[in-house]
Amino acid sequence: MAGKSSSFVFSSPKAKRAARKSNVAGIFKGLFFFIFLAAILAGFTFLDGYVKKQTAPAAENRTIEIMGETPFWVSEEIKNRVYAAATADSGSIESNDPRQQLSGAGNTAAIIQRSVQRLVPWLADVKVQTTHNSVQISGRWRKPIAVVTVGSTPSTSSGRTSSPQAGKNKFFLDSDLVVLDYIPVGDLPVVCVSGLEFDKHPPAAGEICQGEDLAAALSVLSRLERMDAAICPDTPLLRLIDRIDVSNFDGRKQKKEPHIVLYTKDDVQIIWGAEIGAWQRHLESPDDDKLAKLYTYYQQNKTLTGVKYINLRDPRQTIYLPIDKY
């Protein structure tokens, strides 16, 4: 009787073992492939994070720009210090300090700003902005108006260092009494301050220099600087002043002798007298009258030479009409 036929394939034990081995090998190959792929992905993730950590703060890979108008007296050395400070802390992004765990350009700008503030006292009110290819630094330049010599090194009002050793014994001061390191500047009327009761060691750059005698000297120089800017900006009187002596500040040596005396480069004495604001207590000419007498003489004679001294403190002398208060 004809019917449907069917077939049955018989596998031997040897063939079964071979099939099982083939399946196990395939499984191991698949596992190895996935492990290998996972390792590659993990490696790329680690490298990506490492590169981001290294390049985020690297200002040296960007153009560093000092924004705004730079005064003529700001030397290349001072500007180079700003550039160097901008890259000084390029590794700080890797710090474990949570205060530095910011992100992106904001972190880079903050690091550079702190670095410039710490390393370059010549620039105040520092602000930093970053772009993908630039670092833009702005601030207010501190202008030196006085120089102080510590120790026995001879004084000079020049802003140029004669030798490395001389620079170690000197420092500049701005009108806020902030210490600036003694490095070359442009042609500025910087006046020496002498007669200070001072430490043997100069203060660190960026510090505020303490001392009532020093503050009194800079107060007079600041008034002269403002008068120069208002009355004779092209031929400032301060260019003729070599030093201001406060050795008898507040009459500490001789009560009746002038407390503050200026000396021109031709060694003419300008007897200022008591500290700013103390004229009435010592029966002297008002501070505004002192300024008026000095600048009227200068404008009339175009010089401060030709006399042995100019007495500003005596109210009995001719008082010129006071120039507006500065």
The pLDDT-based confidence of 169 (bands split at 50, 70, 90) is confident
Report the chain's C-alpha Rg in angstroms.
Answer: 37
Q: Are the C-beta atoms of residues 120 and 66 closer than 8 Å to each other?
A: no
| pLDDT at site 47 | 38
For helices 104-119 and 76-88, angle between their N-to-C axes, nearest 10 degrees: 130
What's the CA dihedral at 222, 226, 228, 230 to 10 degrees?
180
- Token representation of residue 283: 């029966």
Q: Are the C-beta atoms of residues 167 and 143 closer than 8 Å to each other?
A: no
The pLDDT-based confidence of 211 (bands split at 50, 70, 90) is very high
For residue 71, pLDDT over 90 is answered with yes
Tens of pLDDT, residue by residue over 157-167, are: 444 433 334 45
| pLDDT at site 34 | 58
| pLDDT at site 307 | 87
Instruction: Compare 239 and 200 and report the one with higher pLDDT.
Output: 239
pLDDT, mean over the chain? 78
Tens of pLDDT, residue by residue over 126-152, are: 999 998 889 999 999 999 999 999 874
Three-state secondary structure readout of the chain: CCCCCCCCCCCCHHHHHHHHHHHHHHHHHHHHHHHHHHHHHHHHHHHHHHHHHHHCCCHHHCEEEECCCCCCCCCHHHHHHHHHHHHHCCCHHHCCCHHHCCCHHHHHHHHHHHHHHHHCCCEEEEEEEECCCEEEEEEEECCCCEEEECCCCCCCCCCCCCCHHHHHCEEEECCCCEEEECCCCCCCCCEEEECCCCCCCCCCCCCECCCHHHHHHHHHHHHHHHHHHHHCCCCCHHHHEEEEECCCHHHCCCCCCCCEEEEECCCCEEEEECCCCCCCCCCCCCHHHHHHHHHHHHHHHCCCCCCCEEECCCCCCCCCCCCCCC
The pLDDT-based confidence of 242 (bands split at 50, 70, 90) is very high
Tens of pLDDT, residue by residue over 72-85, are: 999 999 999 999 99
| pLDDT at site 319 | 41
Instruction: Compare 50 and 227 and report the one with higher pLDDT.
Output: 227
Q: Beta-carbon neighbour count of residue 33 at 10 Å?
A: 10
| pLDDT at site 136 | 95
- Token representation of residue 157: 């009002």
Q: Beta-carbon neighbour count of residue 322 at 10 Å?
A: 16
Long-range contacts of 107-110 (CB under 8 A, 24+ apart): 107/56, 107/57, 108/56, 108/57, 108/59, 108/135, 109/135
**Beta-bridge partners for 203:** none
Share of the chain above pLDDT 90, in %: 57
Q: Are the C-beta atoms of residues 180 and 209 closer than 8 Å to each other?
A: no
For residue 205, pLDDT over 90 is answered with yes
**Domains and their CATH numbers in the chain:** 59-141 (3.10.20), 146-311 (no CATH)
The pLDDT-based confidence of 92 (bands split at 50, 70, 90) is low
Cα(124)–Cα(136) distance, integer angstroms? 15
For residue 8, pLDDT over 50 is answered with no
- Token representation of residue 240: 């003729």
Predicted TM-score of the model (pTM):
0.70
Cα(99)–Cα(77) distance, integer angstroms? 32
- Token representation of residue 231: 């009355």
- Token representation of residue 119: 């390393």
**Beta-bridge partners for 179:** 173
Cα(201)–Cα(129) distance, integer angstroms? 37
